[in-house]
């Protein structure tokens, strides 16, 4: 049996109007009603499908499966015990028996050597007084050095006997200049200071005052083999304000 199709009231009204106007308009109204019905059905199905798809993930995450925890395995390591090796007995080798074998004479035909006792010879030594020892020559006297020499070794350093202090210049005193002036000199055989050469100077006239003071100093001269000699000698003059 064919299923009856229910026509909405608006469609029924339109169909009556269409019947009144003509057949073409009635057919158009029927198609429009069928399209609206299909669209409403599709829209309802889509909404239901989306709701189902959204609900499924929530259900799956809301009740997660709890995995059973497996018990952990414990491994116990037993220490290895090492036993000392047993001492092995030392094997003793048998002693080798030694036998003496006589060596044959390589020259049996040669006669044996003849040993004759000789009389002892007596050697007479002269008396000690009769021995002559030549005199040992003495070393030549040491030559005296020519010119000044360095202090050291057998050369004894000179000893200062008179050393007046240098004068402080007024400008150096006001500027409060302090320090050392080092000079190299030659001290002759009489102990006088000569050939003064400045090695480390000071400013504001202190170098000149140091040279002037050093030239007036007196020394006990240096000696070599107890004899006075000329030597190079370095002197230091100290300038300090009190």
For the segment 84-102, what is each residue's pLDDT rounded down to a tens digit? 778 877 777 777 777 776 6
Q: Give the H/E segment covering residue 194.
A: strand 193-200
How many of the other CB atoms lie within 10 Å of CB of 18?
18
Q: Evaluate whether 208 touches 162 at the Cβ level (below 8 Å).
A: no
d(CA 233, CA 184): 6
pTM value is 0.42
Structure tokens at 64: 């997660």
Mean pLDDT of the chain: 76
Domains within the chain, CATH numbers bracketed: 9-61 (no CATH), 155-239 (3.30.2420.10)
Q: pLDDT at residue 18 above 60?
A: no
pLDDT at 99: 73
Q: pLDDT at residue 117 above 80?
A: no
Contacts of 28 (CB under 8 A, 6+ apart): 18
Q: Evaluate whether 160 touches 191 at the Cβ level (below 8 Å).
A: no
Going by the DSSP 8-state scheme, the letter that residue 229 receives in this structure is E
E-strand ranges in 74-157 read: 155-156
d(CA 206, CA 172): 7
Question: Which has more confidence, 97 or 117?
Answer: 97
Residue with tokens 């006088």: 192
Of 163, 183, 189, 199, give the one whose Cα is nearest residue 233: 183
pLDDT at 54: 76
């Amino acid at each position: 049996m064919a299923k009856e199709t229910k026509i909405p009231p608006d469609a029924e009204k339109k169909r009556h109007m269409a019947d009144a106007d003509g057949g073409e308009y009635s057919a158009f109204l029927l198609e429009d009603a069928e399209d609206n019905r299909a669209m409403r059905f599709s829209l309802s199905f889509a909404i239901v499908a989306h709701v189902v798809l959204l609900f499924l993930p929530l259900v799956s995450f809301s009740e997660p499966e709890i995995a059973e925890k497996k018990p952990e395995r414990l491994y116990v390591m037993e220490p290895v015990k090492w036993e000392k090796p047993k001492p092995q007995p030392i094997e003793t080798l048998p002693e080798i028996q030694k036998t003496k074998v006589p060596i044959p004479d390589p020259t049996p035909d040669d006669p044996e050597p003849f040993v004759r006792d000789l009389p002892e010879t007596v050697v007479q030594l002269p008396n000690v007084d009769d021995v002559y020892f030549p005199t040992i020559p003495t070393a030549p006297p040491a030559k005296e050095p020519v010119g000044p020499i360095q202090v050291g070794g057998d050369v004894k350093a000179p000893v200062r006997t008179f050393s007046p202090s240098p004068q402080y210049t007024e400008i150096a005193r006001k500027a409060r200049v302090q320090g050392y002036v080092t000079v190299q000199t030659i001290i002759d055989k009489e102990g006088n200071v000569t050939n003064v050469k400045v090695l480390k100077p000071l400013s504001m006239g202190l170098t000149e005052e140091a040279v002037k003071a050093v030239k007036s100093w007196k020394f006990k001269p240096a000696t070599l083999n107890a004899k006075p000699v000329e030597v190079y000698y370095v002197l230091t003059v100290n300038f300090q304000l009190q």
